[in-house]
A and B are shown apart, each in its own frame.
Chain A
């Protein structure tokens, strides 16, 4: 922090995987930053590169079968060029991760407590008794009833929501300053989802950590995030403050995401507005703007969309960035006059 860098700064991150069919460009030039105490939501369809981004930050890809370039600065330390042992030392201690499916993400043969103890003792030289006490405190803190008894249960003896609470306890065991949650509520019941989101918000305030929420569910992002990054085909297509993205989204893809989000205030007979087509290949991405084959507004770019990749730009001094060929005033006009009324009218 002394050099004025944000707590986490990702600069031009590229994560590519060589395969027999060609190079998969899962993340292709991504830049963003998160401060302590702030929450960033990364949103996108399956295959947009959001999970790859999180696993890349955690250093969970082997150099053997992946190519990573760019910079990841975590609290003044660069991680992409750092040795794997250095990154391992940061994992779990400085940055921790919560995964999507808590049942498959916990080892079935070890008790919940021993898995938390293990996470704590990797980075802290304490006795097993002390670590166990710590594990019970953590389980208690994340809302597991009778934590002192449940600490010796196996993951399969926990309910889905409790398992995710235990996963959170495990991630928090070393007081990480950066917490990455990859689809933390996707595998859970709707009622439990809200509890888990509440818990994460409370814990973030308590620990003042930087939080990255990765999801395809805009509802989750609306609950928690202050900043939003919308990803498409390995790149950011729109990023900025959450309020702006929800109130005045400017990228056609973001409009599509918002249009395909079910809302309780709509009649059930109303149809959603899905995005036509499917996510593009990451080996042979479309020419020009990666979104152009699915974009309703592509004809208005005078052919630019098919040939040139648009830059991620915004108005001077603004933190709201959009990657689109349409001029900013045109985008705002389309949103206000064409897209928004249709969403509200349906």
Chain B
């Protein structure tokens, strides 16, 4: 088990390096594909009024003439030991972990990211509690009452939930519940939890529900399918033959097995959400990582995009790692080796 954990941890670190290299090369290549040169890149930082000599000098100082792998090495080095950027108007320092420096806002990217993680985290945790509770319950009940009115109603509802995009449901929900009925907070009113828990919950309630709606539909379908499969297993028959109560047979024996694949998918979904629930954050104007990414892309702020991408990738890799380790806890057959 210990060797298994070490092996998985090592693999995760290697994977992160590969991801970072891939991301960096994409953002290194893109400007060059559209005809960018070190000079045009440097121009963006010093302003158009600068002379050609200044631009060349800055491009030199920022390392834009260096070979790709040196630029990558410097960027990775910044994450561990910090970096300093000199673009003529003075030296800007970017302490470790330096995920890049935005020359548009003249700010290191890392503190920005740190500011936004709690927003996305709040959104993801609240929504996932809602969708797990609602999705699993609906799925279990649907599977046990297969073919009943309740089953068909739940599955129709969840088909709608899976099919409707968040920018549609979110907009409608905002219009109806916030602006017409005044029940929930309008967009753009996010308050940090430690400032006012009630305001925090009030602002997030509608985003939670809208996000959870989409996921719970998917989880209800998954749970239903999983339950239908496990409830026909031989060991369920054994459990019933022992004289167990239906509730124990269904939950302790049936749901327990059906949960394993759901755990995997939940890990992936949660990891992905932590990288930014782009649509939800955009619709409800929540200052999370997803909105940050969208804003960075629209302002063409490459260091920000690079930083937030790597951050999102890290969340996915870590979530996967945790799922793999949890899998061994959940399924004893995985524990060997």
**Across-interface contacts of B237 in A (CB, < 8 A):** 55, 60, 99, 105
Give the distance in Å from the alpha carbon of A88 to the alpha carbon of B253 in the complex: 17
Interface 9-residue window, one of A42-50, A106-114, A265-273:
A106-114
Q: Which of B238, B245, B257 contacts A88 (CB 8 A)?
A: B245
Give the distance in Å from the alpha carbon of A106 to the alpha carbon of B244 in the complex: 14
Task: Tell me, yes or no, whether A10 is within 8 Å of chain B by CB.
Answer: no
Q: Count of chain B residues with Cβ under 8 Å from any Cβ of A?
A: 19
B241–A88 touching, CB < 8 Å = no
A105–B238 touching, CB < 8 Å = yes
Give the distance in Å from the alpha carbon of A60 to the alpha carbon of B238 in the complex: 10
With A119-B242, A122-B242 as contacts: A154 and B332 at CB distance below 8 Å = yes
**Across-interface contacts of A89 in B (CB, < 8 A):** 243
**Across-interface contacts of B330 in A (CB, < 8 A):** 109
Query: In the complex, which residue of chain A has the Cβ closest to the Cβ of B331?
Result: A109
With A109-B257, A109-B331 as contacts: A104 and B242 at CB distance below 8 Å = no
- A-facing mask of B303-337, CB < 8 A → 1, else 0? 00000000000000000000000000011110000
B253–A92 touching, CB < 8 Å = no
Task: Tell me, yes or no, whether B44 is within 8 Å of chain A by CB.
Answer: no
With A99-B238, A107-B235, A108-B235 as contacts: A91 and B332 at CB distance below 8 Å = no
A118–B235 touching, CB < 8 Å = no
With A108-B331, A109-B257, A154-B332 as contacts: A92 and B242 at CB distance below 8 Å = yes
Q: Provide the main secondary structure of the chain B interface.
A: helix
Task: Tell me, yes or no, whether A186 is within 8 Å of chain B by CB.
Answer: no
Task: Tell me, yes or no, whether A31 is within 8 Å of chain B by CB.
Answer: no
B243–A88 touching, CB < 8 Å = yes
**Across-interface contacts of A88 in B (CB, < 8 A):** 243, 245
How many residue-residue contacts, CB under 8 A, span A and B? 68
Task: Tell me, yes or no, whether A101 is within 8 Å of chain B by CB.
Answer: yes
Task: Tell me, yes or no, whether A93 is within 8 Å of chain B by CB.
Answer: yes
**Across-interface contacts of B243 in A (CB, < 8 A):** 88-93, 119, 122-123
With A101-B234, A104-B233, A107-B235 as contacts: A91 and B333 at CB distance below 8 Å = no
Query: In the complex, which residue of chain A has the Cβ closest to the Cβ of B238?
Result: A105
Give the distance in Å from the alpha carbon of A123 to the alpha carbon of B242 in the complex: 9
Within the complex, the shortest CB–CB distance from B243 to chain A, in Å, comes to 3
Q: Which of B241, B256, B332 contacts A60 (CB 8 A)?
A: B241
With A99-B237, A104-B235, A108-B235 as contacts: A122 and B244 at CB distance below 8 Å = yes
Give the distance in Å from the alpha carbon of A205 to the alpha carbon of B253 in the complex: 33
Task: Tell me, yes or no, whether B240 is within 8 Å of chain A by CB.
Answer: yes
Query: In the complex, which residue of chain A has the Cβ closest to the Cβ of B245?
Result: A88
Query: In the complex, which residue of chain B has the Cβ closest to the Cβ of A107?
Result: B235
Task: Tell me, yes or no, whether A170 is within 8 Å of chain B by CB.
Answer: yes
Q: Which of A58, A109, A123, A170 contacts B332 (CB 8 A)?
A: A109
Task: Tell me, yes or no, whether B239 is within 8 Å of chain A by CB.
Answer: yes
**Across-interface contacts of B244 in A (CB, < 8 A):** 92, 118, 122
**Across-interface contacts of B331 in A (CB, < 8 A):** 108-109
- A-facing mask of B164-184, CB < 8 A → 1, else 0? 000000000000000000000
For the A-B complex with A154-B333, A170-B238 known, give 5 more contacts whose Cβ atoms are closer than 8 Å: A88-B243, A91-B242, A99-B241, A101-B234, A106-B235
10 shortest interchain CB distances as A-B pairs: A92-B243, A91-B243, A104-B234, A92-B242, A119-B242, A107-B235, A105-B234, A154-B332, A97-B241, A105-B238
